Amino acid sequence: MKRWMMIGLLACACGSNNGGNNGNNSGPGSISGTVGGHPLNVKDAVFALNSNELTVAVTDQANTCALLSGTTLPSTTTVLFLSMAIFVPPATINPHTTGDYSFFDLGGGNPPGSAGRYWFGGFETVDTSCNGTVVAYASGGTVSVTQVGNSSGTHLKADLHGIQFGSDTLNGNFEATYCAALTSTNCGNLIARPPAPAE
């Protein structure tokens, strides 16, 4: 189920009011830093849209979309996964736009208290059966979308500014291609939708 919509609907039902470069490179991107000692040598980046929620996977495997259509990966894969939304309380998600997306911890149980651009994500190593073997959830930073992507061929471009995982930090950029398999196949769902910290 879509995390952003789910949290918004839960809040509505409960009556709660709580609250590098510029991305113009021609390759899939570059990310500096490590998480838990794991670097991410970017070889591909893909995204999917589902009810205006934007899901991204930046990986160290070439041909990620084709791989996600199967049930196995050729080797252990490192993945930075992001979920991005323009959230309007209590439960509306608007289409993504260019601009800065602020970190919001979806594991907290409540939706953002005010309208805005938000992201949540994590860093994982995934075994050949598409199961995460090491998962670290993000704790801060900004994702700046520099080009809106769509399913008609326009790539999604974004810069990563101080993406924090506890004491570890990633910076860089990516250029992602559309890939429906990211949210429509078992392998894609396991990579893009590992359990949130509170689940």
The mean pLDDT of the chain is 84
| pLDDT at residue 13, as a whole number | 29
pLDDT confidence band for 195 (50 / 70 / 90): low
Q: For 150-154, what is the mean pLDDT?
A: 95
Question: Residues of 8-22 as b/e, b for ≥16 C-beta within 10 angstroms?
Answer: beebeeeebeeeeee
pTM (predicted TM-score): 0.85
On the question of pLDDT at 65 being above 70, the answer is yes
pLDDT in tens, 76-128: 999 999 999 999 999 899 999 999 999 999 877 788 999 999 999 999 999 99
* Sheet strands (E) in 12-76: 29-32, 34-35, 38-39, 44-50, 53-59
Q: CA 70, CA 75: separation in Å to the nearest integer?
A: 13
pLDDT confidence band for 26 (50 / 70 / 90): very low
DSSP letter string over 169-180?
EEEEEEEEEE-T
How far CA 76 is from CA of 69, 86, 124, in Å, comes to 17, 32, 10
Q: For 131-156, what is the mean pLDDT?
A: 93
| pLDDT at residue 17, as a whole number | 31
pLDDT confidence band for 160 (50 / 70 / 90): very high
Residues 6 or more apart in contact with residue 42 via CB below 8 angstroms: 27, 28, 29, 30, 31, 58, 59, 60, 172, 174
Q: Which residues are 78's β-sheet partners?
A: 125
Residue 147 structure tokens: 């080009």
pLDDT confidence band for 196 (50 / 70 / 90): low
| pLDDT at residue 157, as a whole number | 98
- What percent of the chain clears pLDDT 70, i.e. is strictly above it? 82
How far CA 153 is from CA of 59, 149, 161, in Å, comes to 20, 8, 26
CA–chain centroid gap for 177, Å, is 13
| pLDDT at residue 194, as a whole number | 57
